[in-house]
Amino acid sequence: MFVRRDRAGIGLWQEERWAAWDVLHAFSDRYGGVSPAPFSSLNVGLHVGDDAAAVRENRRRLCRALGVAPEALVAGEQVHGTRVAVVGAEDRGRGAFELRDAVPGADALVTDTPGVILFALFADCVPVYLYDPKRRAVGLAHAGWKGTAGGIARRTAEKMSEAFGSRPEDLHAAIGPSIGPCCYEVGEEVARALAGAGPGIVVEDAQRLRADLWAANAAQLAEAGVPRDNIAVAGLCTRCLRDTFFSHRGHGGRTGRMAAAIGL
């Protein structure tokens, strides 16, 4: 379960089970920033039409709340693909203040370097946090329907094994606030792409198709060997809770972005 902690007016949502652990992680919400509507107020997305100076100030406020330097952030380009990039100290600051130097083509990042804070943007898509307390490594995936269908959560876990020797049974996963099965209506194409993710992922009622991206990503991680008990699902729907969170669907496409962050 994700719970909100207030840090000087900035909301940090964190998985309760992870609270006592030596891993920094959080998901932001709409409050405490300087952006005007429709980005009010803590929009951290540089690509949505908001004023870049306001976005940078919002990112600075978020970093202050997290207790990290903005230069510690590393962000991927986020292209709704399935590329997982291994990043380290030399990547610090990439995508922190500019889009153009984000890690190209990456929708997921992994690191075992302390002080490197993985950073990604969301407004309905699913943030998947991974933590290996044994090998001391973290991962963060941006899983929309395309990434989910392409197995990005599984690929992120696999990359941690490959790069850091993580064993799947040691991994802990948290699936953060994002659009829920209550609100995620999909068309035939998306339904077909996600149906293979497992039974019950796509359901039809009242002639409407709805998909459960939380269950799809959890199933994928379980298949990769992450113990079910180690997979925490926030269960917070960004569209239902659109007063608190930016929701691409809930706000008709023109809205801000929240951040997910994780680091050692």
**The one segment of 22-30, 105-113, 143-151, 175-183 that binds Zn ion by CB under 5 A:** 175-183
Smallest separation, CB 87 to Zn ion (Å): 33
Determine if 239 is a binding residue for Zn ion (CB under 5 A): yes
237 binds Zn ion (CB under 5 A): yes
Residues whose CB is less than 8 angstroms from the CB of residue 249 and which lie 6 or more positions away in sequence, other chains included? 124, 179, 183, 184, 239
Q: Give the x-and-dash track for 100-139 against Zn ion (CB under 5 A).
A: ----------------------------------------
Q: Is 240 in the site for Zn ion (CB under 5 A)?
A: yes
Which CB atom, from 204 or from 229, has the smaller least distance to Zn ion?
204
Residue 213 binds to Zn ion (criterion: CB under 5 A): no
**69 or 241: CB nearest Zn ion:** 241
Smallest distance from Zn ion to CB 238, Å: 8
Size, binding site for Zn ion by CB under 5 A: 6
* C-alpha separations of 29 from 32, 106, 115, 150, 255 in Å: 9, 23, 23, 27, 12
Q: Which is nearer to Zn ion, 239 or 257 (CB)?
A: 239
Cα–Cα distance, 18 to 90 (Å, whole number): 28
Q: How many helices (H) and strands (E) does the chain have?
A: 5, 15
69 binds Zn ion (CB under 5 A): no
The correct pick among 183, 186, 195, 222 for binding Zn ion (CB under 5 A) is 183
Rule CB under 5 A: say whether 182 interacts with Zn ion. yes
- Provide the minimum distance between the beta carbon of 213 and Zn ion in the complex, in angstroms, as a whole number: 12
| Distance, CA of 124 to CA of 92 (rounded, Å) | 26
Given a contact cutoff of 8 angstroms between Cβ atoms, the answer to whether 86 and 62 are in contact is no
Our finding on whether 180 is near Zn ion (CB under 5 A) is yes
Q: Are 110 and 138 in contact (CB under 8 A)?
A: yes
Instruction: Name the residue nearer to Zn ion (CB basis): 172 or 242.
Output: 242
Beta carbon of residue 183, minimum distance to Zn ion (angstroms, whole number): 3
Q: Which residues pair with 85 in a beta bridge?
A: 109
Q: List the structure tokens of 44.
A: 């951290």
Judge contact between 233 and 177, C-beta under 8 A. no
Nearer to Zn ion, 107 or 124 (CB): 124
Q: What is the separation, in whole angstroms, between the first and last Cα of the chain?
A: 21
**Angle of CA points 1, 5, 169, to nearest 5°:** 35
Q: Please list the alpha-helical segments (H only) found in 77-151.
A: 145-149
Q: Tell me the C-alpha to C-alpha distance, in Å, between residue 124 and each of 57, 61, 68, 213, 261.
A: 23, 22, 25, 10, 16
- Closer Cβ to Zn ion, 4 or 135, answer by number: 4
Q: Nearest approach, Cβ of 234 to Zn ion (angstroms)?
A: 12
Residue type, 69: A
Query: Which residues here bind Zn ion, judged by CB under 5 A?
Result: 180, 182-183, 237, 239-240
